[in-house]
């Protein structure tokens, strides 16, 4: 019976996690957030249908994804940050993606909320690490900017179930903002997203583990009851 329990447990551990492709958006959880700040309006909260970035940190975008539903360190392959453009601008722009350091103040739910975030209370870049740059933020409405550099490693470094990013425009030859849909922008359909391949715990296997444990305990109890001699 013991070996059967061990076998059952081993089988369940083998099927404990289902690894699959998934899309995580800023709309998925109450911990998911997206907004931007504007330096010349330091007390204004800009949470709405768009996220913007403008050079010299005049506008900075903020994103937070709840990744607590995925197994730690299970992100594999190429994870992609996806941002959907709101409009067409005829010049390219460079956007630098910062990952807020795991567990730092800016990576906590208490650190910032999209409905109260302003340039006066924003988490700064000091506790964030640059992951790289991409060109985007000004293409045809509905087209998607994809950024992959360092995302998988950043997600696997997470320990608090939150992945937080800052979007900084580093250069482009116009004062026009880079602009993407937020989760409030298009009925949630074009919310900022992380496309990942990761493991998700399967509740049914937890139930099987529980049944295996119950069976083992019941067997131990039966063994303690003396056999009838009549």
> Does 28 help bind Ca ion (rule: CB under 5 A)?
no
> Nearest to residue 80, comparing CAs of 151, 2, 133, 177?
151
39 vs 104 by CB, closer to Ca ion: 104
200/60 Cα distance (integer angstroms): 32
- Residues β-bridged to residue 194: 24, 81
> From the list 28, 34, 145, 179, which residue makes contact with Ca ion (rule: CB under 5 A)?
34
> Does 47 help bind Ca ion (rule: CB under 5 A)?
yes
Q: If phi over 0 gives left and psi between -120 and 50 gives alpha, with beta otherwise, what is residue 77? A: left
> From the list 5, 16, 102, 176, which residue makes contact with Ca ion (rule: CB under 5 A)?
102
126 vs 226 by CB, closer to Ca ion: 126
Instruction: Work out the angle at residue 49's Cα, subtended by the Cα atoms of residues 130 and 132, and round it to the nearest 5 degrees.
Output: 15
198 touches 71 (CB < 8 A): yes
Residue 218 belongs to what H/E stretch? helix 203-224
The pair of three-digit structure tokens given for residue 204, joined into one six-digit string: 């049914």
> Does 182 help bind Ca ion (rule: CB under 5 A)?
yes
In the complex, least distance from residue 85 CB atom to Ca ion, rounded to whole angstroms = 17
> Does 194 help bind Ca ion (rule: CB under 5 A)?
no
The interface mask with Ca ion, positions 62-101, x = CB under 5 A, is ----------------------------------------
> From the list 66, 145, 158, 179, which residue makes contact with Ca ion (rule: CB under 5 A)?
158
> From the list 24, 97, 128, 162, which residue makes contact with Ca ion (rule: CB under 5 A)?
162
182/5 Cα distance (integer angstroms): 49
In the complex, least distance from residue 178 CB atom to Ca ion, rounded to whole angstroms = 16
Binding residues (CB under 5 A) for Ca ion: these are: 34-35, 47, 102, 107, 114, 158, 160, 162, 182
């Amino acid at each position: 019976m013991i070996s059967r329990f061990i076998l059952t447990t081993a089988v369940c551990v083998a099927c404990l996690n289902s690894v699959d492709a998934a899309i995580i958006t800023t709309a998925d959880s109450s911990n998911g957030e997206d907004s931007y700040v504007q330096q010349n309006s330091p007390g204004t909260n800009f949470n709405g249908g768009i996220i913007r970035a403008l050079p010299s940190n005049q506008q900075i975008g903020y994103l937070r994804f709840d990744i607590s539903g995925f197994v730690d360190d299970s992100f594999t392959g190429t994870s992609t940050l996806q941002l959907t453009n709101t409009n067409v601008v005829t010049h390219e722009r460079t956007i630098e993606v910062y990952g807020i350091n795991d567990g730092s103040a800016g990576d906590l739910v208490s650190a910032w909320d999209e409905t109260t975030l302003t340039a006066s209370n924003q988490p700064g870049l000091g506790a964030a690490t640059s992951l790289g740059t991409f060109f985007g933020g000004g293409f045809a409405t509905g087209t998607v900017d994809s950024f992959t550099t360092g995302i998988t490693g950043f997600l696997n470094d997470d320990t608090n179930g939150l992945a937080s990013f800052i979007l900084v425009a580093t250069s482009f030859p116009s004062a026009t903002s880079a602009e993407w849909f937020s989760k409030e922008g298009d009925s949630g359909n074009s919310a900022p997203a992380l496309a990942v391949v990761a493991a998700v715990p399967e509740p049914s296997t937890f139930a099987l583990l529980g049944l295996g444990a119950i069976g083992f305990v019941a067997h131990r109890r039966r063994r303690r009851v003396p056999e009838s001699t009549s």
